Amino acid sequence: MADAEEAVPQKDPDETNPEWRITVNPAAELDQIQKFVPVIPHCLNRLWVRGEVNLNALRLLVNLSCCPDMVPYLLGNKSVSGLLRILDTDREEVLIRAVTWILCTTSAVDALNLTYDRISEHNLDPFHNPSHTLYYSIYGPKGREELETQAKHLTNHPNKDVASKSARLLETLANVPPFPTAGSHLNRL
C-alpha cells in the first residue's frame, strides 16, 4: 500500500520526476505502463476520501487516461460506488478534472474501438463479472444514461471549458457502442 500512496502524489506532478513521465508522455513504453497498472486499483479506491473527491487521485486518473494504451487497464479495474457523482460537484477544480478524465477515457474508447470484449482480459474481478468493472460503471446501461444526463446538464455550465468538454463528451459518447445487455447474445442466434 505504501507504493500506491507514493504513486498518488500529495502535490502537483513534477514533469522532471521519472515516475510521472508516463503522465506527460502519452506514447509511453509498455514497461512504463506495467509499472502503473498495480497503482490503478489503489488510485480508484482513494478517489473518495471522507465523502470528498481526492483531487490527487483524480489528477492521476486524468494523466493515465491521456495515454490511450493505459485505458483498457483502467477500464478493467473494479469500479468504486458512486463513481459518476464526481460530476455532481460545485468544486470547479474537481469538475473540470472529472469531465476531462471521462472525456479522455471516452475518446480512447472511441479511437481504439474498445468494447468490453476487448478489455475483458484486464478485468480484475475474481469472478470476471463485467458489471464490476469501471467500463460497465461508465458505459453500462445505467452508468451511460447517468453520464449522458450529467453531460447534457454540464453543457450549460458557466465555465466555458466545462461546457465545451461536456459537449465533446456527448459527441464522443455517441460513437461508443452500447454495452451488451444480458441475453443480447441470444439475438444473434
- DSSP per residue over 80-126, as a string? -TTGGGGGS-S-HHHHHHHHHHHHHHHHHHHHTT--HHHHGGG--ST
Question: What pLDDT sits at residue 31?
Answer: 76
Tally of structural domains, the chain: 1
The answer to the question of residue 182 being in a domain is no
The answer to the question of residue 25 being in a domain is yes
The answer to the question of residue 188 being in a domain is no
d(CA 124, CA 73): 9
Three-state DSSP class for residue 49: strand
Q: How confident is the model at residue 96 (pLDDT cuts 50, 70, 90)?
A: very high
Number of H helices, E strands in the chain: 11, 2
Q: How confident is the model at residue 180 (pLDDT cuts 50, 70, 90)?
A: confident
Which amino acid is present at 169? L
Which CATH number characterizes residue 17's domain? 1.25.10
Helix, strand, coil distribution of the chain in percent, nearest 5: 65, 5, 35
Q: Is the dihedral of CA 150, 151, 155, 157 positive or negative?
A: positive
Average pLDDT over residues 37-51: 94
Q: How many CB atoms lie within 10 A of CB 85?
A: 15
pLDDT of residue 7 exceeding 80, the answer is no
pLDDT per residue as tens digits for the range 106-160: 999 999 999 999 999 999 998 999 999 999 999 999 999 999 999 999 999 999 9
Percent of the chain with pLDDT over 70: 80
The answer to the question of residue 76 being in a domain is yes
b/e map of 136-169 (b: 16 or more CB within 10 Å)?
bbbbbeebbebbeebbeebeebeeeebeebbbbb
pLDDT of residue 10 exceeding 90, the answer is no
Question: What pLDDT sits at residue 80?
Answer: 94
Question: What pLDDT sits at residue 27?
Answer: 52
Question: What pLDDT sits at residue 11?
Answer: 44
d(CA 181, CA 115): 13
Beta strands in the chain, from DSSP E residues, in sequence order: 48-49, 52-53
Instruction: Report phi then psi at 157, rounded to 5.
Output: -65, 145
The answer to the question of residue 184 being in a domain is no
Average pLDDT, the chain: 86
Question: What pLDDT sits at residue 181?
Answer: 73
The answer to the question of residue 72 being in a domain is yes
The answer to the question of residue 119 being in a domain is yes
Q: Which residue has the higher pLDDT, 185 or 78?
A: 78
What is the span of the domain harbouring residue 90?
Answer: 2-177
The answer to the question of residue 136 being in a domain is yes
Q: Which residues pair with 53 in a beta bridge?
A: 48
